[in-house]
Amino acid sequence: MKPTQSILSQILAEASELLGQGKVADYIPALARVPNNKLGIAVYTNEGEIITAGDAQEAFSIQSISKALSLTLAMMLYKPEEIWKRVGKEPSGQAFNSMIQLEMEQGIPRNPFINAGAIVVADLLQSRLSAPRQRLLEFVRQLSGDAHVVYDKVVAASEMMHSDRNAAIAYLMRSFGNFDNDVIPVLNNYFHACALKMNCVDLAKTFSYLANKGQCVHTKKQVVTATQSKQLNSLLATCGLYDGAGEFAYRVGMPGKSGVGGGIIAVVPGEMTIAVWSPELDKSGNSLAGTRALELLSERIGRSIF
């Protein structure tokens, strides 16, 4: 069955029963202020149709969803072995910001979606781009077709003021020889990427290349190769939802990436890209109602990769 506006509305109605049972991220004030009862969804099909419900047009902080964009950019700039000698492809089995495994495994992060791995990717972008922050913004504006996507400067500044843990991670990797640039500017770019402000429609359109063998649906531009698109999806499926990737695969069954702003993008390869948003998080740091909405969507339209 194809997703329709009426199915999406029904799904949100059901998923909204979970509102009030999660916890909005509060480690920086800018995130804590977001109203907790927001809920939106957008589906972008490979035929270019966009279907939405709820707060799908309201912009929010995409946070770790940006890690999938930065990795895509790095895969466009580097040979595979240049990336994968510096970061692994395996689930971590630990909290997203843990340093224990990083020390045990000699400064090589488990995958590009935990903080350490995303910081290595930011370091890679810093080494090869003259203005990585501007480049990422242009990239996202092109992919989303929305020229008004911006960095939320307040969020980025606030993250920078609470950057001690990430600085510790960067310095630890430097001590193992797995970090090439100065720590502060790399972290600054990393936090700006996290502070991208986008809505569900923007996000669903932005990631359409993952559902379409690497080709952006509306620009027809080949962003990455079909093989790279498959590889990106595999990494999202095994590592994209913090320490809740297994549960997400079990319930939703789509490659996905979440952020602590409450957004999640998910992919049905060959068919569609989906973005949901609801700020309250479950104990793994993934959107509570957002995950539920994706689970219901998977059931209703009978789509999953399994």
Q: How far is the CB of 26 from a second copy (least distance, A)?
A: 16
Residues with catalytic annotation? 64, 67, 190, 242, 260
**Helix, strand, coil share (%) of the chain residues, nearest 5:** 50, 15, 35
Q: How far is the CB of 249 from a second copy (least distance, A)?
A: 4
Minimal CA–CA distance to 6: which of 36, 57, 58, 43?
A: 43
**196: enclosing H helix or E strand:** strand 196-198
Q: How far is the CB of 138 from a second copy (least distance, A)?
A: 27
**150: enclosing H helix or E strand:** strand 150-151
Q: How far is the CB of 238 from a second copy (least distance, A)?
A: 5
Task: Report d(CA 228, CA 192) in Å as an integer.
Answer: 25
Residues 201/207, Cβ–Cβ less than 8 Å: no
Residue whose CB is less far from a second copy, 188 or 233: 233
Label residue 77 exposed, middle or buried (CB < 10 Å: 0-12, 13-18, 19+).
middle
190 is in an annotated binding site: yes
Task: Report d(CA 29, CA 135) in Å as an integer.
Answer: 28
Residue whose CB is less far from a second copy, 110 or 292: 110
Residue whose CB is less far from a second copy, 14 or 247: 247
Q: What is the end-to-end Cα distance of the chain in Å, rounded?
A: 16
46 is in an annotated binding site: no
Task: Please give the residue ranges that form the binding site for a second copy (CB under 8 A).
Answer: 88-94, 98-101, 103-104, 110-111, 164-165, 167-172, 174-175, 229-231, 233-235, 237-239, 243-247, 249-250, 253, 255, 269, 304-306
166 is in an annotated binding site: yes
Residue whose CB is less far from a second copy, 199 or 286: 286
Amino acid at position 89, single letter: K
Please give the annotated binding residues, written as ranges.
64, 115, 159, 166, 190, 242, 260
Please give the annotated binding residues for substrate, written as ranges.
64, 115, 159, 166, 190, 242, 260
